[in-house]
Structure 1
Amino acid sequence: MNISFHGADQGVTGSCHLVECAGARILVDCGLYQGGRSIEEENAEPFGFAPSDIDALLLTHAHLDHCGRIPLLARRGFRGEIITTPASRELARLVMLDAANLQEEEAARNNRRAARHGRGRRREEQPLYSVLDALNSLDAFGRCAAYGERLEVVAGVHATFLDAGHILGSASILLELEEGGQRRRLLFSGDLGNRARPLLRDPEVASELDVIVMETTYGDRAHKALQPTIDEFYEAINATFRRGGNVIVPTFAMERAQELLYFLRQGVERGILSQAIQVFLDSPMAISATEIFRRHPEAYGDDTRAIFQSGQDPFQLPGLHFTRETADSMALNRIGGGAVIMAGSGMCTGGRIRHHLKHHLWRRDSSIVFVGFAARGTLARRIVDGADSVRIFGEEIPVHASIHTINGFSAHADRQELLDWYRRTGGAPVTYLVHGDADAMQAFADLLTDTDVRMPALHDCHPL
């Protein structure tokens, strides 16, 4: 029995872990690296294992950095079964198709730009994978896993998906392994959510573990409390409207967009925000994700489920507009002020948000409100870190807008919540820390005094 690490190792994105047991190879997640140009090249590198040798892939949740390389895995020979929760299955389809479409558009745009600058004889840029690759990979999705249900993945390997409270359908995965009379219980945390949030339930745990593989995205810091966070969000909107500008919110399409709609609805109902507020969800993926969220009220916490049961929609508010078509998105540039425009992606690595940043970063009356994690090397991180100007679509754009970073909305557990989750498991003799920057990982490692803490490098392999 072995475990090897092929992504999100001493870094935040690209989660991919391989467990070998009883002659079988089980992959947990296969995510995309996110960041600058070097990251794009890293995504195209070999996985560190033969995709054709993988018997099953267990998907913790549908964020791009956990499922985004599945189409590439399938194109390179994976023919096993993908098992995940029903909501993650629907959301992963959406995420992978969107990613493929964006990659095709980006490659075509770069090729056109190269042709205009007289570089037409160079080899044309190709997307990491195509829409067809993403569609073909959907054939691999097999059984759906219900929370708490123990299922046999292959002979000698059983998996139980536990609610991770991170996004809709997210899971921690308990693996029970048996080989040659030896047994091991491994718990993959996946990405863990904040406790006591209005939309989702609190993260669950397993116990009596031999090994824990745990995320550490916010292992070195505490989040701001939720209510002050919501108040700060409302004040950023109202202050911007008083200046006559627009509020641009780079947002992740899943969970974050829906949570913000939930709080915007509350703000209007309580009279904190104007009844006349105009909110534009300018993200086809976020719009489709919201529709998927509406189909899975069984995954919510008590408060949100009660809203559904009363016949109301927790994501609907007066003045909400869904912007699917490109022409409608472009028309938003004509709105001088008084609008909240939410667009993906949250790290500004692609999608429509770049167009809105190009039209608003230079405006002193507008605000850019970041409500999630920004990985190193991303456009979002450069803006958050105080860049005087940034390059967007080949043009240098000065940063004059008000920049707000409101971290209390994070879908990730913070340092204390991570530690509380770990303690609720009862710990394990060996703990692997993944999915975190080096500083965050080390800070969290220092809190774990009763376990053998390991921080694996890319492609490290360890016996179980």
Structure 2
Amino acid sequence: MAQVKMTFCGGAQSVTGANYLIETETGQKILIDCGLAQGSRFAEDLNYAPFSYAPAEIDTIIITHAHADHFGRLPKLYRDGFRGRVLTSNGTRDVMEQAFPDNWQHIAEEAKFSGHPPLYTEADATGVMELVEGLDYYQTVDLGQGNSMSLLNAGHILGSSLVHLEINGKVLGFSGDLGNSGSLLMPEKDFIKDADYITVESAYGGRIHEDKTEREAKLLEALMHVVAHKGALMLPVFAVERAQEILFVINKLVENKIIPVLPVFFDSPLAIEMTRVYRKHQSEFNQAARDLIASGDDIFNFPGLRLTESVMESKKINDTPGPKIILAGSGMSTGGRILHHERRYLPGPDNAIVFVGYQVDGSLGRKILEGQRHVRIYNESVAVGCVIKAIGGFSGHADQPQLVDWVERANESGKLKKVFLVQGEDESAIALSEAIKAKISVDTVIPKMGESFEL
């Protein structure tokens, strides 16, 4: 059987920057994801570094989902010569289309601040979007030379996909980011059951999530603190999925009169736009969410909600006395409007900040969460005196038991030869490796950046 070579060009021993190259003996080259490195002090250097392969030689790239650490370097790939096919789900295509203008704005601002050229141009983002083909789940696509692929539901965010790749008679499975069971909006994740090799994320490979039934109670606890003290509740949210989930929960709390009607500022133009994309794809929600919509509940709207799309509207949030809730990006406090609110409200004990998503090592969100009493925002030292909470039950990532179960199910055919553990810090990947080997007899590998394997 002909050999297949897989190289880990990103996402190895790192949570972000997913980028995996598959090469066949006949010269076909396929990429899985092309993400930005995020969070660490080396991220900018990694993103600007040349690709370790010739972009012009890539035939196809498959994007698992529309988070920047999985698709954010696509325009740079295009800028450097890529003109092949970009395959992804219909939902991911629509999310990417809205995300690129926002990403470009941040790229341009960062370049201006640091004094180097932008990572890519707006024309590069437009150009690569013209190459994107949206696919239905379970649709088989011919890649040429007898190879094929299909996408399955990953249950992580709208459009998130597992990749089932048949290359030279071998089945390669890629998890992308695996969703957490019990999502408020997404259906349960699928399984790849006939794989020879699988590449699995390990962001929470060493963790067991808290009980999902506690997520609303914990949010309510923080919310009642700011109601009692007339403070501000800050919610750093990712524009895709987490923002919509939080709206969903607040809608429930308001409409069931569990909390009073109070100002809820949705202060993220991108998240507002993404919510419109979610409305377009509500047929992809889980049954419970679809039933609510069918009953007439507008799950993303409720009394008190204010959409602050313009900068002027955002600045006026300061004029509204507490209690109030502010949803803004970015989810890890690495940029976006949340920084302005954090600079203003972090010092006050009447206020609270609640993290509802993963905080990568080195990010401002991680520093706040780990208890730093002073942080730097816009080159100012800002005291941290507010209530700080993290709610793991909102996590969009599978935890260790779910990841182990997913790998076990991948071995149902009995032909699973190797499991590659990626997209996690070393400690998480090692813990997941040990947990997998305690359950099934399979070779687990934690690849290094740039390491290649013959499959």
Matched, 1:129 2:114: no
Counterpart for residue 115 of structure 1: none
Matched, 1:165 2:155: yes
Looking at structure 2, the residues matched to 49 and 23 of structure 1 have their Cα atoms a distance apart, in angstroms, of 13
Looking at structure 2, the residues matched to 444 and 90 of structure 1 have their Cα atoms a distance apart, in angstroms, of 33
Deviations 1:283-340 (A, max 9, x none): 0110000000000022111011112233432111111111110111111122231111
Matched, 1:75 2:60: no
Counterpart for residue 297 of structure 2: 312
Counterpart for residue 288 of structure 1: 273
Matched, 1:440 2:443: no
The aligned runs of 1:64-463 (5 Å cut-off) are 64-108=68-112, 110=113, 124-141=115-132, 143-178=133-168, 183-274=169-260, 276-426=261-411, 428-449=416-437, 450-463=441-454
Q: Is the 8 A contact 1:64 1:96 kept in 2?
A: no
> Normalising by the residue count of structure 2, what TM-score does the alignment of the two structures yield?
0.95
Deviations 1:364-411 (A, max 9, x none): 211111111000111111111111111111111111111111111000
Looking at structure 2, the residues matched to 23 and 102 of structure 1 have their Cα atoms a distance apart, in angstroms, of 36
Counterpart for residue 6 of structure 2: 3
Counterpart for residue 29 of structure 2: 25
Looking at structure 2, the residues matched to 153 and 268 of structure 1 have their Cα atoms a distance apart, in angstroms, of 49
Q: Is the 8 A contact 2:149 2:165 kept in 1?
A: yes
**Any runs of at least 4 consecutive aligned residues in structure 1 with deviations exceeding 3 A, and if so which?**
none
Shift of 1:46: 1.5
Tell me the amino acid that sits aligned with residue 177 of structure 2.
D
Secondary structure at the counterpart of residue 42 of structure 2: helix
Shift of 1:223: 0.7
Shift of 1:241: 1.5
Tell me the amino acid that sits aligned with residue 200 of structure 1.
M
Tell me the amino acid that sits aligned with residue 20 of structure 1.
E
Secondary structure at the counterpart of residue 446 of structure 1: helix
Tell me the amino acid that sits aligned with residue 459 of structure 1.
G
Tell me the amino acid that sits aligned with residue 444 of structure 2.
V
Looking at structure 1, the residues matched to 216 and 409 of structure 2 have their Cα atoms a distance apart, in angstroms, of 29
Shift of 1:133: 2.3
Looking at structure 1, the residues matched to 122 and 385 of structure 2 have their Cα atoms a distance apart, in angstroms, of 37
Deviations 1:192-226 (A, max 9, x none): 11123231110101212110100011000111111
Deviations 1:62-90 (A, max 9, x none): 01100110011111111111010111001
Q: Is the 8 A contact 1:166 1:200 kept in 2?
A: yes
Looking at structure 2, the residues matched to 304 and 413 of structure 1 have their Cα atoms a distance apart, in angstroms, of 20
Deviations 1:125-176 (A, max 9, x none): 32222333222221221x3221112111232321110000000000000000
Shift of 1:422: 1.5
Q: Is the 8 A contact 1:67 1:96 kept in 2?
A: no
Inter-CA distance 222–144: structure 2 relative to 1 (3 Å threshold): same
Query: How many residues are paired up?
Result: 445
Q: Is the 8 A contact 1:101 1:130 kept in 2?
A: no
Q: Is the 8 A contact 1:220 1:443 kept in 2?
A: yes
Once superposed, what is the RMSD of the aligned Cα atoms? 1.3
Inter-CA distance 100–324: structure 2 relative to 1 (3 Å threshold): same
